[in-house]
């Protein structure tokens, strides 16, 4: 039986933000490395910081009459982080004309910039009652238009 791997979808131009944090004692497990589940919260930390920097926070989406639940998350663990490490969470929002928010992440050790983990999240849009929005919302069209000249090409 052969295992067939899906080829990762290429993501397009993006905006990038860097957020910084220190690994807390409560983040490490019995083998003294960051417990794998905390990387997802590090992605959330980066996503919130990105939203604050670029004006696309949870409150902005909510004020537009929308909710943006996460429907996919993935994480590849490359090297462990340990108590006291200073981490950089690089968050990239990839521009799209679809009704989704595609983000990719890198978690790096601050002292040497070594890559510890990479990941992705996908969010969709719903109204406050949970009905799925199928077309790109106006808030995203305006957002991409505002930042179009600062998009980084991969």
**Which residues are 15's β-sheet partners?**
93
Q: What is the pLDDT of residue 9?
A: 57
Mean pLDDT taken over the chain: 94
Q: CA 21 to CA 121: how far, in whole Å?
A: 20
CB 56 within 8 A of CB 143: yes
Binned at pLDDT 50, 70 and 90, residue 11 comes out as: confident
Determine which of 6-10, 19-23, 36-40 has the lowest per-residue pLDDT on average: 6-10
CATH superfamily of 15-150: Hotdog Thioesterase (3.10.129.10)
Per residue in 75-108, pLDDT tens?
Answer: 999 999 999 999 999 999 999 999 999 999 999 9
Domain boundaries, the chain: 15-150
Per residue in 98-148, pLDDT tens?
Answer: 999 999 999 999 989 999 999 999 999 999 999 999 999 999 999 999 999
Q: Name the pTM for this structure.
A: 0.91
Structure tokens at 99: 């009704």
Q: Which residues contact 108 (CB under 8 A, 6 or more apart)?
A: 87, 88, 89, 90, 114, 115, 116
């Amino acid at each position: 039986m052969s295992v067939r791997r899906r080829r990762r979808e290429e993501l397009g131009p993006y905006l990038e933000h860097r957020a910084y944090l220190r690994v807390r004692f409560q983040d490490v497990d019995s083998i003294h490395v960051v417990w794998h589940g905390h990387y997802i919260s590090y992605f959330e930390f980066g996503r919130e910081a990105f939203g604050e920097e670029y004006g696309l926070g949870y409150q902005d989406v909510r004020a537009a009459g929308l909710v943006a639940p996460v429907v996919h998350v993935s994480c590849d663990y490359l090297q462990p982080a340990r108590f006291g490490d200073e981490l950089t969470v690089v968050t990239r929002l990839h521009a799209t004309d679809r009704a989704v928010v595609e983000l990719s992440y890198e978690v790096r050790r601050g002292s040497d910039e070594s890559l510890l983990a990479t990941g992705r999240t996908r969010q969709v849009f719903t109204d406050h009652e949970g009905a799925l929005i199928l077309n790109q919302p106006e808030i995203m069209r305006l957002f991409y238009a505002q930042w179009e000249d600062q998009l980084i090409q991969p």
